[in-house]
Every structure is written in structure tokens, then in C-alpha cells.
């Protein structure tokens, strides 16, 4: 049994035992029927999904020469780490800056590509959840309807704003010139905003073929994670309805944009994910909580991996500085 799976199972016991709705017998039953081999495969599949997200990011870059997928995946998890701790797109800014230094590309271009790639993934998740909602008769809780509506508005509004800025970069340039451009200490930031405007325009003009590749990698990433969650469920002895499981994941993924500006709001995401597993995938509460915990353990693993990559990047920068000084 791997260390990660052992900690996941131990965490499951603690988490489940802490819930007043769960009995000791239910916790013991989950423990007895757990298959560590399936959980290892599930973790591997969900981690592979990160590589597909890096490929999605790379597909939207105007400068791709020398951009390797595995190092880019490492920078992606750094962004995940920072998004857990700080509000807004801080993680995207940091990942783009590291990509610029690592691959010798413009950070503004990397950031523009990352934002376009993220909205491709959100749009596909939202579209998939809408199709499942319209074509199946799964029992969706009433509260989820409002959540779907808010998420749809957020994704749609963000996509429209991104499209406008990409099609009309002068809006961003003029807005920056009239604000931070008039403050002498911030003129360097104004120059960066101008480069970002040009990058957004360049990414927006990549054409349908490049966007199709971005969509393909997004679909592969979503599929890897959904498949990993399904394998994890089987590894815990649960048998979720496939449509309900896909709906749970896509709604939760699309709805994450609502939580984007609120660090520490993962608890609300967990509650929504678990409740949807019960309502739409037909799982018992103990099984839904167990699967939710395993998904959270994998996300925390991603965060820890991001910390390792960030520390290594900082160490390399220190070494480079020392070499220059020497």
C-alpha cells in the first residue's frame, strides 16, 4: 500500500468518524472493502489529468518551441498551490512568470494562453453538465439549479470579457493608460499591461485548429479525472451511476469559478460534491464522503507537489544569482 493511499484511508476513518451521521460500522465497512490497488490507479489517472491540462495550456501558446509538457505541468501545480492560498488569478500570474523564466517566453503570453485555456475547460465542463441535465432524469437537488445558473453567468461573463479584450486590445491599453499609466512608479506595470493586451490579441487569433486542440486536451483532462474518481469509487466498493458521477464532476468544476475569488472556500466545494454524489450518482452518504475525501487528498497532494516545485524554482534562482555575483 502506498503512503498516499494509506494516509487517504486513515484520513477517511478520521473524517467519517467525526461525522455524527456516520456509524462506526459504516466506517469499518468502507475500510474492509477498500482496494488499495484501485486507489493507486485512481490517483495515477487523476494526476495524468494534470498533464493534459498542461497540454491544453501549451496548445494556446503562440510561442511553444522548447516548452516541454512535464516541466509545464510542474508550473501548473505551482499555480494550483497559490490559488488555494490567495484570491483571484494569483496562481496564473505566478505560473506564467515561472514559465517565462523556465522556457524563455513572454510571461504575458503565457498568462494570456493560460486564461484562454482555463475558459475552454470551464466552458466544456459547463456544456457537459447542461447536456446531462437536459438529457437524463437524474434527481438534481433544488439548490443546485441556482448554483448552475450562477456558474453559467460567471463563465459566460468571463468568456465575453476575455473575447472583448482579445478582439479589442485597445480597451485594455487605454484603460491602463488612463489609470496606472499616469502614475510614474507604475509605468513599468503599464508597459506589462500593454504587452498583455498584445498577447491576448495574438492568442485570440490562433484560429479554430489551435482551439480545437485545446478543447481536445481539456476533454482528455476531464475524462482522466472522471475516470480516476470512478476507479476510486470502485476501489472503495461503491458503484456510482456513470451519468450522475460525470454530472457531479462537471457541475463542481464549472462551479469552481464562483469560488475563485475566495481562498479557503474549498469546504463549500466539498459539501456540494458530496451532496451531488448522493443525489445524482446514487451513493450512500458514507461512500460519498469517502470519495470526496479521496478527491480532496489528491488535490492536497497536488498542492504539496506545487510547493516542492516552487521551492526548487526558488533554489535554482538563488543558485543563478550566486553564479552571477560570483
pLDDT(265) > 60: no
Q: What percent of the chain has pLDDT over 70?
A: 83
Residue appearing with cell numbers 469559478? 257
Q: Using one digit for the tens of pLDDT, what is the confidence trace for 280-319? A: 998 888 888 889 888 988 888 888 888 888 888 777 654 4
Model confidence at 323, in pLDDT bands (50, 70, 90)?
very low
Residue appearing with cell numbers 437524474? 138
pLDDT(261) > 80: no
pLDDT(182) > 50: yes
Task: Read off the pLDDT of each residue in 138-166 and give the average, rounded to a whole number.
Answer: 78
Q: What pLDDT sits at residue 217? A: 97
* Residue 98, burial from CB neighbour count under 10 angstroms (0-12, 13-18, 19+): buried
Q: Phi and psi for 122 in degrees, rounded to 5?
A: -65, -45
C-alpha cell at 166: 482579445
Q: What pLDDT sits at residue 130? A: 86
C-alpha cell at 70: 512535464
CA-based radius of gyration for the chain: 21
Q: Using one digit for the tens of pLDDT, what is the confidence trace for 48-107? A: 999 999 999 999 999 888 899 999 999 999 888 887 777 667 888 889 999 998 999 999
Amino acid at each position: 500500500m502506498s503512503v498516499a493511499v494509506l494516509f487517504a484511508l486513515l484520513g477517511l476513518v478520521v473524517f467519517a468518524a467525526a461525522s455524527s451521521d456516520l456509524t462506526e460500522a459504516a466506517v469499518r465497512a468502507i475500510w474492509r472493502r477498500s482496494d488499495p490497488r484501485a486507489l493507486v490507479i485512481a490517483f495515477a489517472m487523476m494526476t495524468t489529468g494534470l498533464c493534459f491540462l498542461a497540454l491544453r495550456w501549451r496548445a494556446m501558446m503562440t510561442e511553444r518551441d522548447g516548452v516541454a509538457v512535464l516541466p509545464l505541468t510542474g508550473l501548473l501545480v505551482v499555480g494550483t498551490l497559490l490559488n488555494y492560498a490567495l484570491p483571484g488569478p494569483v496562481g496564473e500570474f505566478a505560473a506564467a512568470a515561472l514559465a517565462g523564466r523556465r522556457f524563455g517566453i513572454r510571461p504575458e503570453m503565457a498568462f494570456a494562453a493560460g486564461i484562454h485555456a482555463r475558459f475552454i475547460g470551464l466552458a466544456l465542463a459547463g456544456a457537459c453538465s447542461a447536456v446531462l441535465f437536459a438529457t437524463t432524469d437524474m434527481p438534481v437537488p433544488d439548490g443546485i439549479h441556482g448554483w448552475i445558473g450562477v456558474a453559467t453567468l460567471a463563465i459566460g461573463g468571463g468568456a465575453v470579457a476575455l473575447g472583448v479584450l482579445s478582439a479589442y486590445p485597445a480597451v485594455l491599453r487605454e484603460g491602463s493608460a488612463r489609470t496606472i499609466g499616469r502614475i510614474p512608479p507604475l509605468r513599468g506595470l503599464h508597459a506589462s499591461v500593454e504587452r498583455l493586451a498584445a498577447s491576448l490579441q495574438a492568442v485570440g487569433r490562433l484560429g479554430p485548429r489551435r482551439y480545437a486542440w485545446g478543447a481536445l486536451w481539456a476533454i482528455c483532462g476531464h475524462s482522466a479525472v472522471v475516470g480516476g474518481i470512478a476507479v476510486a469509487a470502485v476501489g472503495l466498493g461503491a458503484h456510482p451511476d456513470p451519468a450522475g458521477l460525470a454530472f457531479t464532476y462537471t457541475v463542481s468544476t464549472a462551479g469552481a469559478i464562483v469560488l475563485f475569488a475566495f481562498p479557503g472556500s474549498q469546504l463549500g466545494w466539498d459539501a456540494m460534491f458530496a451532496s451531488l454524489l448522493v443525489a445524482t450518482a446514487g451513493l450512500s452518504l458514507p461512500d460519498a464522503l469517502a470519495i470526496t475525501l479521496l478527491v480532496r487528498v489528491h488535490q492536497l497532494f497536488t498542492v504539496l507537489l506545487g510547493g516542492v516545485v516552487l521551492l526548487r524554482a526558488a533554489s535554482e534562482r538563488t543558485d543563478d544569482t550566486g553564479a552571477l555575483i560570483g
